Amino acid sequence: MLSVRPQARVANPAPVFAALGDRTRLSLLAKLSDGQTRSIAGLAANTKLTRQAITKHLRVLENAGLVTSARVGRESQFAFRPDPIVEARSYLDGVSAQWDEALSRLRSFVER
């Protein structure tokens, strides 16, 4: 809340950071980040994770907007959605730019 510019206003990124702050969820995202959609069974392959655990983590990722699901036949297919990461970064960029401006005013203030 420094030099506030309304166009820099974006959604609170907290749910995104919270969703990313878990190793299992990151591993699921890393798998999906190749752009291929996968079923729960596909995500469970070659891991020790149960279907229930994967479902739970996918739910968190879906709520944060990082994953979308679509029903294909009897199974849901999950896909990576990078938009929230871009938004979270633009939020941080906004806060960062405000600090740049505030620190430059501090510089003028102490160096005058």
Q: Which residues bind other proteins (CB under 8 A)?
A: 1-4, 6, 9, 12-14, 17-18, 20-24, 26-27, 29-30, 33-34, 82, 85-86, 88-89, 91-92, 94-96, 98-100, 102-103, 105-111
Given a contact cutoff of 8 angstroms between Cβ atoms, the answer to whether 43 and 53 are in contact is no
CA separation for the pair 21, 104 (Å, rounded): 33
The answer to whether the Cα torsion of 65, 93, 5, 7 is positive or negative is negative
- Which residue's CB is nearer to other proteins, number 42 or number 94? 94
Shortest distance, position 6 Cβ to other proteins, whole Å: 7
Tokens encoding 80: 């990576």
Residue with tokens 């990313």: 20
- Which residue's CB is nearer to other proteins, number 21 or number 73? 21
- Which residue's CB is nearer to other proteins, number 71 or number 112? 112
